[in-house]
A and B are shown apart, each in its own frame.
Chain A
Amino acid sequence: MYRLTGVTKRYTRGKETVEALRGVDLTIADGDQLVIQGPTGGGKSTLLQMIGGLDRPTEGSVELDGVDLARIGETRLTRVRAENIGIIFQSFNLIPTLTAQENVETALVPLGVKPAERRERAAEALRSVGLGERLGHAPSEMSGGQQQRVAIARALVKKPKVLLADEPTGNLDEGTRDDIMALLEGLWREHGLTFVMVTHDSSIARRAPRLATIAAGRLTLTEQQPYGVGAYDGQIAH
Chain B
Amino acid sequence: MISFDNVSKSYPGGHKGLSNVSFHIEPGEMVFLTGHSGAGKSTLLKLIGLLERSSRGQVRVGGRNLTRLKKREIPYHRREVGMIFQDHRLLHDRTVFDNVAMPMIVAGLGHAETSRRVRAALDKVGLLRKEKAYPVTLSGGEQQRVGIARAVVSKPPVVLADEPTGNLDPELSREIIDLFGQFNQVGVTLLIATHDLELISRLNKRTLVLDQAQLSQDRPATS
Is B truly associated with A? no
Interface residues of A (CB under 8 A from B): none
Chain B residues close to A by CB (< 8 Å)? none
